[in-house]
Amino acid sequence: MVHMEKTRELVWSRSIESDDETYLLFLYREDFSAVFPHMIRYTLLLQDKNEIIAIFRTNNYEYSPTVPLDAESSAHRVAEEWAESLRKDPLSFLASRKMHLPPASTLLPSAVVVIQGSPRSDGNSSIMAQWVSDAAREAGKTVSVIFPDDLNIHHCIGCYRCFNTGTCTFDDDMGDVISAIQHSSLLVVCSPVYTNTVPGSLKILIDRCQAYQAAIVLVGRFKGPRGLILGVCGRRGSDNFRCLVPVLEAFMENVGIKVASHLLVDDVDESRDIATIPGLKEEVRGKVFDLLEKR
């Protein structure tokens, strides 16, 4: 996980006279190359006395080299538009800049968050997710189970706008997922192996955590939950998890989650096979208790 030194350099400042008011505009440049090579973010701030009334952020990863537009000139263009609107009709401009709060999360904060990554709602991963939930409740913890296949989550389009604000361009169920992970102390991912990696709907959720990673990088270090990976696959041999585990570890690492334990079950294909393995439920239960106690 990357942590940045915060260095903000003032590119320019200027004043805008409108009616009897003087507004101040500042353009700042920040070097994000510790996160991604050559990434630069520009922040335009409009200030009225000591109050910030408008913010525009943009970074150079948003712009294709094939398009004759770049981050710095976009910021200049927005500055010109703001200045013109302020001079013409300051009241309308200020009303249009009122900040809107994001909608509240519909998921209640829980101590344990379980992501059940299989599209089969009654399959092996689902049974493991149920074992985890039962154990966590037995330990007196609140639990939320997230089923990516049932959610409305748009795939990441790589626009990198999340590095401007720490939030995603898409306003869908992913906001609730991130908020749930953020408030948890244990994150458990239960996933089958699909073509050596995770199923598509879980991969979409993982990629969309880029915005969560951006928020952590922008806001700074925080104490993330611990991570537990429970994997299942149809073929015989632990080698079948050789891609699944690094994918899930990379996901957790990117959002500051320390992977504390794994449990990988091979040679399990039919929907409820896993329930017939002697002692497995107790092993999962034991891992959950251990991780909850160590907090």
Ligand X SMILES: Cc1cc2nc3c(=O)[nH]c(=O)nc-3n(C[C@H](O)[C@H](O)[C@H](O)COP(=O)(O)O)c2cc1C
Q: Judged by CB under 6 A, does residue 130 bind ligand X? A: no
Which of 171, 175, 179 lies closest to 109, judged by CA? 179
233 binds ligand X (CB under 6 A): yes
Q: What are the C-alpha distances in Å from 125 to residues 18, 192, 248?
A: 62, 6, 15
Q: Is 148 in the site for ligand X (CB under 6 A)?
A: no
CB neighbour list of residue 205: distance below 8 Å, 6 or more residues apart: 115, 146, 148, 151, 153, 174, 177
- For ligand X, which is the closer residue by CB, 258 or 272? 272
Q: Note whether 45 and 28 are within 8 A (CB).
A: yes
Residue 170 near ligand X by CB under 6 A? no
Spatial CA neighbour of 178 closest among 230, 143, 214, 229: 214
Segment near ligand X (CB under 6 A); pick from 17-25, 147-155, 166-174, 191-199: 191-199
194 makes contact with ligand X (CB under 6 A):
yes
Q: Is 175 in the site for ligand X (CB under 6 A)?
A: no
Among 234, 249, 260, 275, binds ligand X (CB under 6 A): 234
Q: What is the distance between the alpha carbons of residues 227 and 177, in angstroms, rounded to a whole number?
A: 15
Q: How far is the CB of 167 from ligand X (least distance, A)?
A: 32
The reply on whether position 192 binds ligand X by CB under 6 A is yes
118: contact with ligand X by CB under 6 A: yes
* Number of residue whose CB is nearest ligand X: 123
Q: Does 124 bind ligand X (CB under 6 A)?
A: yes
Distances (CA, A) of 231 to 51, 102, 269: 51, 35, 12
Task: Lay out the site mask for ligand X across 265-294 (x = CB under 6 A, - = otherwise).
Answer: ---xx-x-----------------------
CA 168 – CA 208 distance, rounded (Å): 8
The structure tokens listed for 214 are 């951006």
Residue 123 touches ligand X, criterion: CB under 6 A: yes
What is the contact surface with ligand X in residues (CB under 6 A)?
Answer: 118, 120, 123-125, 192-196, 232-235, 240, 268-269, 271
